[in-house]
Amino acid sequence: MRARLLATCLVLEAFVVFFATLVATALSSVPDATVWTAGAVLVVVCLLAAGLARRPGGVVVGWVVQGLVLATAVVVPAMAVLGLAFAALYGWFVVLGGRVDRDRAAWEAEGGQEPPGRTSPVS
């Protein structure tokens, strides 16, 4: 579950980075080609990190992406707010997803039985 939450966060972050790139072209004194190149690279990095969320080290890659997004605040200061928001969301998903995974593993170790008359929504 944690990998799904982290991948979802990173995909949503990719969309936000794309739209922030649109804003950065208007707000930044950096040449548009540079802004678009950096934005496109960061979007691709977010999507690749989302794909790596299930692999060993995937959580660390996600944290590196959070740092990269925060670093864009040097060019567009408003990205500090978005970067901090996504870093907080990512951290919350790391904790929450780990808790769900532990609870699910404990439930399965106990036999994973649903009460009579109830079906499991997870297959």
CA 81 to chain centre: 15
pLDDT at 47: 97
pLDDT at 117: 59
Q: Which residues of the chain have pLDDT under 50?
A: none
pLDDT at 62: 96
94 in Cβ contact with 2 (< 8 Å): yes
What does the pLDDT look like over 20-29, one tens digit per residue?
A: 999 989 888 8
Task: Count Cβ atoms below 10 Å from residue 77 Cβ, excluding itself.
Answer: 10
pLDDT at 5: 93
pLDDT at 2: 86
Task: Give the SS3 label for residue 91.
Answer: helix
Distance CA 28, CA 23 (A): 8
**Residue closest to 79 by CA, chosen among 71, 88, 87:** 71
